[in-house]
Chains A and B, each alone.
Chain A
Amino acid sequence: MITSTTAGLVLAGILFTMGLVSMLIRRNLIFMLVSVEVMLNAAGLAFIVAASRWGQPEGQVMFMFILAMAAAEVSVGLALILQLYHQLKTLDSDEASKMNG
């Protein structure tokens, strides 16, 4: 049974899964970062849908926090990628496996 809530949640699920697939199949670090953004966005969508389902502001508050977190994450992530690129001369995440961590 499709209601507006389930439709929104399914869309969020689809977007999230796409981000996940991308995360799994990409080796380029920037692509991986983009995939994380996609997934975060999908999670935010789920929150918004939930907020509208219950008529409460908490879902949107959470989305704002996700937004702030994504901004911080992207800035730090990009800085890290920059360093890695300088060290390894490549964006291949598999190259950064020397520590077996």
Chain B
Amino acid sequence: MGAAFYIAAAIAILSTAMVITRYNIMHALLYLIVSLLSVAVIFYIYGAPFMAALEVIIYAGAIMVLMIFFVMMLNLGQQSAGDERHWLTPRVWIGPALLCLFLLAELVYLIMQPPAPPAGEIVMVDPKAVGKSLFGPYILAVELAGMLLMAGIVGAYHLGRQKKKITHRFLERATQ
């Protein structure tokens, strides 16, 4: 447990705080990428280098890029940011924030509970072991994950298609 962890943790918390307070969605997404990268560093510290790599490639790389493209496609600009500013008044956020703070306090209290785990030695988990168990006991889950991704692709394609706007014929007649 060295300084590296604390620095990375601080960056993660700060950047996530920036994510949840930005009005402009683009800024928020960029801060989220920073946060994800710092979490990747923490993964590395916790002895999961392969996961750290996946976090960078898939999360920070693919998923965030997808979202950024999406935002660009919708062409959300100043107006959206203005809306956000308008919506995010202290009256709105103070209550949920306090509630969540309480929840966090409880969580931390529980995590800190004795019996604490014996002195935390970070154990490196070999990516090979991960691969073996993925394609050993968890093969069924992997298959299911594959199907889920397939369904995600098909679903996204189906939903994302620009369909001709269909109004029900009764409604059409009513509006004429």
- Chain B residues with Cβ below 8 Å from A13 are 104, 107-108, 111
* A-contact 0/1 string along B156-175, CB 8 Å cutoff: 11111010000000000000
- A17 contacts B100, C-beta separation under 8 Å: yes
Number of A-B pairs whose CB atoms are under 8 Å? Answer: 235
* A-contact 0/1 string along B52-68, CB 8 Å cutoff: 00110011001100110
- A78 contacts B156, C-beta separation under 8 Å: yes
Count residues of A near B (Cβ-Cβ below 8 Å): 72
Count residues of B near A (Cβ-Cβ below 8 Å): 85
- Chain A residues with Cβ below 8 Å from B104 are 13-14, 17
- Chain B residues with Cβ below 8 Å from A72 are 148-149, 151-152
Does A96 reach chain B (CB closer than 8 Å)?
no
* A-contact 0/1 string along B105-135, CB 8 Å cutoff: 0011001101011011111111001101110
* B-contact 0/1 string along A3-45, CB 8 Å cutoff: 1111111110111111111101111101101110110010011
Besides A51-B125, A82-B160, A86-B162, 7 new A-B residue pairs in contact (Cβ under 8 A), listed by A number: A8-B46, A11-B9, A21-B93, A21-B100, A34-B67, A45-B39, A63-B54
A-side residues, CB < 8 A to B, are 1-11, 13-22, 24-28, 30-31, 33-35, 37-38, 41, 44-45, 48-49, 51-61, 63-65, 67-76, 78-83, 85-86, 91-92
B-side residues, CB < 8 A to A, are 1, 5, 9, 12-13, 16-17, 19-20, 25, 28-29, 32, 35-36, 39, 42-43, 46-48, 50-51, 54-55, 58-59, 62-63, 66-67, 70-71, 74, 76, 80, 83-84, 87-88, 92-93, 96-97, 99-101, 103-104, 107-108, 111-112, 114, 116-117, 119-126, 129-130, 132-134, 138, 141, 145-146, 148-149, 151-153, 155-160, 162
